[in-house]
Amino acid sequence: MSHNHIVENLRKEIENFSAQIKAEKVGKVIEVFDGIAKVSGLSDIKSSEMVTFPNGETGVALNLEDDAVGVIILGDFSKIREGDEVKATGKILEIPVSDNIMGRVVNALGMPVDGKGVVKTDKTYPIEKVAPGVVTRQGVDQPVATGIKVIDAIIPIGRGQRELIIGDRQTGKTALAIDAILNQKGQNMICVYVSIGQKDSKLRKLQVRLEEGGAMNYTVIVSAGASETAALSYIAPYAGVSIAEYFMDQGKDVLIIYDDLSKHAVAYREISLLLRRPPGREAYPGDVFYLHSRLLERACRRNEKYGGGSITALPIIETQACDVSAYIPTNVISITDGQIFLETDLFYKGIRPAVNVGLSVSRVGSSAQIKAMKKVAGTLKLDLAQYRELEAFAQFGSDLDESTKKQLERGKRAVEVLKQPQYAPVKIENQVVVLYALVKGYMDTVPVEKIKEYEQGLIDYSESHAKDFYKEIAEKKMWSDKGEESLKKMIEDFTKSFNK
Amino acid sequence: MATISNNDIAQAIYLSSKDKSPHELSLVLKDVVNFLHRKRLLNKSKDILLKLNKIINQEKGVLMVKVSSAQKLHGHEKEEIEHLLKKRYHAHEILLEEHIDEKLFGGIRIEVEDEVIDLSLRNKINKLQEHLTRKV
C-alpha cells in the first residue's frame, strides 16, 4: 500500500468522523483492590451496567449503594488509580457474536485469544438474559448422541436437557464432555465449551485434540483461565450461553459444556466477599443458587412457533472426596434434569468411563431415546441392577445355584461391554447391535476377557453383513420382525466363527 | 437495625433547623453538636456538612457547576452557560466555579454533580483517536 493511499484513507476517515458529544454520567474511583473498584457518583446507574475506565478497561456495576457503586473490573486493574474518572455507558454488559466465531477460542468478553486475528462481528448479545418462558418451550424428544455406550443406553440425554456430570478430580469428567463433542460431527449440532478457571495447558491440549478430531469446525471455546481475574470467570458461562443463544436463534441445536461450575461458584464467592456481601453456608453468598439456576434455565428446547432450536447443557461439578452433599453439588443436582456420577473406585478398577450406573439418572432423556435403544437398554438396566445386588452377596460363598451364576456371568459381560476407551465414540446403530447381542445372551459363551475383542469383531462384521438392519435403524429408529431375524442370524454366525 | 448514613443525619439536621428563628437555631445546633459528640460522629462531621450543603442547595434550587476552560471565560459566555444550565436542570440559581485547564486545548467542560458535558477539544481528539484505532 503506498503512502498516498494511506493518507487518503486516513483523510476519508477523519472527514467522515463526527464527534457525538452528549452529557455523560461519570464517577470517581474511591478505592481499588483485588479486581474491585469502589466508585462515587454514577447516580443513575443500573445493576450489571457496563462502565469504562480511562485505560480502556471495562467494568460491571454490581453493588449499588447509597453513595458508592461496587464495580468488578474485567481485565487488568493494576493501572486503575484512585481518582480516575469512570464513565457509565448505559448498556448492560454484552458480547459480540457472529457466525465467524465458529472454531475460535474467545475470552469471556468475546475477544479472540487464539492468535488467529480479529473476529468480524455485526451483532452483540447481552450476557444476562431472562430464560425463555413456558409458552416458548417444548418437551425434550430428540436425542443427543454422545457416542458413549453407557450414557446413550442407560442415562440418555435429550436435546434441551441439562445433565450434570459430577465426580472427584481425575475421574474423567472432561473426557466425557470431549467425547460428546467429538461425536457431534455430522449430527447437526454446534458445541460451545466454556472453560472456567482451568489451566491454560489443559485447554490447549483440549483444543488440539478437538482440532485433530475435526471438531473445531462446529465448536466455540470460551476461556476464562486460572490466571485471569475472578470477574472473568464469573461472566464466562453467561458469555458462553449468549453465544449458544445466538446460534439457537437461528434454529440450530447447541450443546454447551460448563467446565466447571464449582470453580465458577468459587469465583463468585471471591467477588461477593470482596464486595462485602454477607457470607452464608461455606462462605458462599446468599444468591449462589440463583447464580446457577438462572444460567441453567437458559438451556431449553424451543417450539417451532418461536423459531425452534435448543440448548443442551452439560455442567460439570468437581466434588471433594466424593462428597455430593456439599453445598454447590446439591444445588446443581437439584437444578439439573439428572446427573452422571463418576467414581474414583470404579476408575481405578478399570471401569472407564467410571460411571456409577446405580446413582446416575436422566429424568427426561428416556423420551428422547430411539425405540431400538430403549428396547435393549431396558433389559441391560435390569441385568446390571441384579448383578450389583448379587456381586456383594456372591463374595461370601462359592456354591451358587445355576441361575445366580448365570446372572453374575451376564453382569460381568455387561460391565465389560460398557467399558470404552477415550476418544472412541460408537455409532448408535453399532451400540444397538452390541447391546442386542449382550442382552439376548449371545455373549454368554464368550470368555469375559475376550469380550472387547468380540465386540470390535461384531461391529466390523455387522457393518459389512447387516446393511439393511442399519438402514432400518437409521430411518425408522426401530427394527422390524424381519430385521430382527436377520440380525439374530448374523450375530449367531459371527459368534460361531468367533468361538471356533 | 439499619445503619444511619451521613445523608440521613444531614437530612435530619436540615429538617430540624428549617424555618427556625436565630435563637431557636442556635439551640438546635447546640443539640446537634451534642448529639454528634455523644454518638462519636464528630470525625464524620466534614462529610455530613458536605451532604447538608447539598440538601440545602437542592431545596433552594441552587446548582453548583464546575466549568473548566482553556482560557478565561468572558462575561457574556458565562451568562449564556448559566442560562442554558438553568433551563436544562430547572434551577433557580447557578453557582459557577471556574477553572482554567490548559490541557483542554480549547472549548469548555461542564461538570454538574456526576454529569459531565465535555465540549473540549481534547475530548474530541480522544474520540477521534478511538474512532481511528477501533477494531474493524
Is pLDDT above 60 for A261? yes
Distance CA B86, CA B80 (A): 10
For residue B127, the chain A residue with the least C-alpha distance is A19
Is pLDDT above 50 for A338? yes
Contact B115 A13 (CB under 8 A): no
Contact B123 A27 (CB under 8 A): no
Contact A19 B127 (CB under 8 A): yes
pLDDT of residue A3: 82
Task: Please name which of A161, A144, A27, A155 lies closest in space to residue A82, comparing C-alpha atoms.
Answer: A27
Contact B7 A67 (CB under 8 A): yes
β-partners of residue B66 are B97, B111
Residues of B with CB below 8 A from A17's CB? 127-128, 131-132
Cis peptide bond prior to A260, omega within 30° of 0: yes
Distant-in-sequence contacts of A78-83, Cβ < 8 A, 24+ apart: A79/A55, A80/A29, A80/A32, A80/A37, A80/A53, A80/A54, A80/A55, A81/A29, A81/A32, A82/A29, A82/A30, A82/A31, A82/A32, A83/A28, A83/A29
Three-state helix/strand/coil letters over A347-394: HHCCCCCCECCCCCEECCHHHHCCHHHHHHHHHHHHHHHHHHHHHHHH
Task: Please name which of A476, A140, A172 lies closest in space to residue A353, comparing C-alpha atoms.
Answer: A172
How do A164-167 and A310-318 pair as beta strands? parallel
Evaluate whether A28 touches A83 at the Cβ level (below 8 Å): yes
Distance of CA A32 to the CA centre of its chain: 35
Query: What average pLDDT does the segment A385-397 reach?
Result: 82
One-letter amino acid at B127 equals K
Spatial CB neighbours of A44, under 8 Å, sequence gap ≥ 6:
A25, A88
pLDDT confidence of A1, banded at 50, 70, 90? low
CA distance B79 to chain A (A): 20
Query: What average pLDDT does the segment A49-62 reach?
Result: 92
Is pLDDT above 50 for B90? yes
For residue B117, the chain A residue with the least C-alpha distance is A23
Q: What percent of chain A has pLDDT over 90?
A: 83
Task: Please name which of A43, A42, A30, A34 lies closest in space to residue A83, comparing C-alpha atoms.
Answer: A30
Catalytic annotation, pick one of A281, A363, A410, A413: A363
The CA angle A341-A347-A351, to the nearest 5 degrees, is 95
pLDDT confidence of A63, banded at 50, 70, 90? very high
Is pLDDT above 90 for A28? yes
Distance CA A460, CA A494 (A): 10
Is pLDDT above 80 for B47? yes
Is pLDDT above 80 for B134? no
Q: Given phi > 0 = left and psi -120 to 50 = alpha, else beta, which region is A305?
A: alpha
Which of A14, A21, A67 lies nearest to residue B118, judging by beta carbons? A21
Phi, psi (deg, nearest 5) at residue A457: -60, -45
Size of interface A-B (CB pairs under 8 A): 49
Task: Please name which of A303, A331, A357, A355 lies closest in space to residue A159, comparing C-alpha atoms.
Answer: A303
pLDDT confidence of A204, banded at 50, 70, 90? very high
Query: What torsion do the CA atoms of A489, A493, A494, A499 make, to the nearest 10 degrees?
Result: 130
Residues in chain A, overall count = 500
pLDDT confidence of B1, banded at 50, 70, 90? very low
Residue with cell 453468598: A285
Contact B115 A120 (CB under 8 A): no
Average pLDDT of chain A to the nearest whole number: 93
All three cell numbers of A25, joined, read 454520567
pLDDT of residue A456: 94
Of A5-19, A333-347, A353-367, least confident by mean pLDDT is: A5-19
Q: Is A363 marked active-site?
A: yes
